[in-house]
């Protein structure tokens, strides 16, 4: 049974803040003697990791042996980790602590020599990557369902990150799944760790458990990348900002860095206390779910800059005063202005974007003469490019941006990057975006999500579109001629590995395109994502509303895919 609903506050706690959270009552006392137990089990059929690990409802993970089977399958897929260091932490959602206790017991039983765990069980996904890299750990286990809702009836997730700090590649996740289908037992220590709320080291069997400050290493890294002095001066000048942590893991990080280190006024960070159910909200930083921030920035225009991050801290949304920056434009603007930021003054060697992300950054790369790579969706595909020195900045249209400083996307990093640019250029978010469009043209872009679509209907829609690949080219829809239709396949330029069936692409003669994908991040039904993109070089037309500019492509997508007919939905669940 999980502990009752609780809140976590980072170290050092302010006066009156009690950060202590006891272990579940059933786990408080170690059984004796301290020994490794082999527990008989049977495989579960549904433990295939998706693009971001294994995500299921909390109630699924609470089944006897379910978590244990998957963790043992991870360990059985690895070699040479005995005596090495493992990093463990999560986003603080419901079931996080219970899972961490189990993982520590199993890590000790399987022969790890040391585990670094964030105090209170907290580590944002980018912070976990940073810790793995800084301490040269063998790997890490990250507990999160990212932007999915939390709480007893919400979602939970687990993934393995390799020693470069990034998500395990497909060859590792395939091995994990194969092991999960044949597992007959798992190993667990007949003891439990000490308090997760006290910094310091303790022993668990033959393994050392080091409880670390979850924010310190990450904050140090950010201070090395960005001009904190310039950003402090920006805030001192009266610049205003609101950051919505959505009661998710970024709250402690944003409070420490923005308010304590950079001098932003108290209250700049909204919803900054980590809650196991994210305060009952949906921790997805977009125009639909970050409605409080949207009201402040877009409707009332009460601050110069607004930003939000998601459940595990790896996504970001950026807003100016009554002005929204699409993630695709954000990546392009960061790449164009990288020389203004200390950590990137050495130059951008290349950029990488996921296939559904708009081509806005491609134009920057062409103009500035650095490489540009198009990959499948999933941050793990950027890892090889980053490790090989082929890319410096990476981004996905799903509000994910990052660089070679870690091997995960990083929400707060993107916000600090924007703050650094704003501090140097002394212009508004809107002015910077419009100047960028004048230089490169505007890419009108939007994503329409149809969430929790019945799986058979969603798969039937995709199959029907694929069946028309040979006949679509040459057809004209509302004056637009289709010139290509395919299912995106990717060959990794570093290791030659191939990934197929990565999303349907429909391209038109003028360069516009429609992309359709089924998301792998949900836990109920299927999420159909429809991406719409049109390039506009004429500056006199840059002021059009994105949905207006894309209206014909929206209709064409429905004509080709039969979205309303097959899903029964008259409109998307979320538009970004």
Q: Where are the alpha helices (DSSP H) in 388-454?
A: 411-425, 429-440
User: Tokens standing for 524?
Assistant: 């109920």
Residue 279 sits at φ, ψ, to 5 deg, of: 65, 20
User: Tokens standing for 425?
Assistant: 């250029």
**Residue 77 appears among annotated catalytic residues:** no
User: Tokens standing for 443?
Assistant: 């890419």
CA atoms of 212 and 122, how far apart (whole Å): 10
Pair type for strands 269-270 and 241-244 = parallel
CA atoms of 467 and 460, how far apart (whole Å): 10
Contacts of 123 (CB under 8 A, 6+ apart): 87, 88, 89, 90, 117, 131, 142, 214, 249
CA atoms of 228 and 233, how far apart (whole Å): 9
Q: Indicate the DSSP class of residue 3.
A: P
Q: What is the DSSP string of 310-326?
A: -TTS--EEEEETTEEE-
Pair type for strands 480-487 and 476-477 = antiparallel
466's enclosing H/E stretch is helix 455-467
Is 551 exposed, middle or buried, given 0-12, 13-18 or 19+ CB atoms closer than 10 A?
middle
Do 65 and 186 contact (CB within 8 A), yes or no?
A: yes
User: Tokens standing for 193?
Assistant: 């760790």
What are the beta bridge partners of residue 442? 536
Q: What is the DSSP string of 274-333?
A: EETTGGGS----STTT-HHHHIIIIIS---SEEEEE-TTS--EEEEETTEEE-HHHHHHH
Contacts of 565 (CB under 8 A, 6+ apart): none
User: Tokens standing for 186?
Assistant: 């798992």
Identified catalytic residue from 73, 77, 144, 146: 146
Which residues are tagged catalytic? 146
């Amino acid at each position: 049974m999980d502990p009752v609903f609780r809140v976590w506050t980072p170290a050092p706690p302010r006066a009156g803040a009690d950060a202590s959270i006891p272990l579940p009552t059933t786990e408080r006392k170690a059984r004796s003697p301290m020994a490794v137990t082999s527990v008989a089990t049977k495989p579960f059929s549904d433990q295939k990791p998706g693009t971001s690990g294994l995500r299921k409802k909390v109630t699924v993970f609470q089944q006897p042996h379910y978590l244990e089977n998957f963790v043992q399958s991870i360990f059985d897929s690895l070699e040479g980790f005995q005596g090495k260091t493992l990093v463990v932490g999560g986003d603080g959602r419901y079931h996080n602590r219970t899972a961490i206790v189990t993982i520590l017991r199993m890590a000790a039983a399987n022969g790890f020599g040391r585990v670094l765990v964030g105090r209170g069980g907290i580590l944002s996904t980018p912070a976990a990557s940073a810790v793995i890299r800084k301490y040269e750990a063998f790997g890490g286990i990250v507990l999160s369902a990212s932007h999915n809702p939390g709480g007893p009836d919400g979602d939970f997730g687990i993934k393995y990150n390799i020693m470069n700090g990034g998500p395990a590649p497909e060859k590792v996740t395939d091995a994990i799944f194969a092991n999960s289908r044949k597992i007959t037992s798992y190993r667990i220590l007949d003891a439990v760790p000490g308090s997760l709320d006290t910094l310091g080291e303790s022993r668990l069997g033959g393994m050392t458990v080091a409880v670390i400050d979850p924010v310190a290493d990450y904050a140090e890294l950010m201070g090395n990348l960005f001009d904190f002095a310039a950003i402090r001066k920006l805030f001192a000048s009266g610049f205003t900002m609101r950051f919505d942590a959505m009661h998710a893991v970024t709250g402690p990080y944003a409070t420490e860095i923005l308010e304590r280190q950079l001098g932003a006024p108290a209250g700049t960070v909204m919803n900054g206390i980590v809650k196991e159910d994210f305060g009952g909200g949906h921790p997805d930083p977009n125009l639909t779910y970050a409605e409080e921030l949207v009201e402040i920035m877009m409707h009332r225009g009460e601050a110069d800059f607004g930003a939000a991050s998601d459940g595990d801290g790896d996504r970001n949304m950026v807003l100016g005063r009554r002005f929204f920056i699409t993630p695709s434009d954000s990546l392009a603007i960061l790449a164009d202005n990288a020389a203004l930021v200390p950590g990137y003054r050495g130059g951008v060697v290349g950029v990488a974007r996921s296939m559904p992300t708009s081509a806005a950054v491609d134009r920057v790369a062409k103009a500035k003469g650095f490489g540009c790579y198009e990959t499948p969706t999933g941050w793990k595909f950027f890892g090889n490019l980053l490790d090989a020195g082929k890319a410096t900045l990476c981004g996905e249209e799903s509000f994910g941006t990052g660089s070679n400083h870690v091997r995960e996307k990083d929400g707060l990093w993107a916000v600090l990057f924007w703050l650094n640019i704003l501090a140097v250029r002394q212009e508004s978010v809107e002015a910077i975006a419009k100047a960028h469009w004048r230089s490169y043209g505007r890419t009108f872009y939007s994503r329409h999500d149809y969430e929790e679509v019945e799986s058979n209907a969603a798969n039937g829609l995709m199959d029907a579109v694929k069946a028309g690949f040979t006949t679509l080219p040459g057809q004209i829809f509302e004056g637009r001629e289709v010139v290509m239709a395919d299912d995106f396949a990717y060959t990794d330029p570093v290791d030659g590995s191939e990934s197929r069936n990565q999303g349907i692409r429909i391209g038109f003669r003028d360069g516009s395109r429609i992309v359709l994908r089924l998301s792998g991040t949900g836990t109920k039904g299927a999420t159909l994502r429809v991406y719409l993109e049109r390039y506009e070089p004429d500056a006199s037309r840059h002021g059009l509303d994105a949905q207006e500019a894309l209206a014909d492509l929206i209709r064409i997508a429905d004509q080709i895919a039969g979205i309303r007919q097959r899903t029964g939905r008259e409109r998307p669940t979320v538009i970004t």
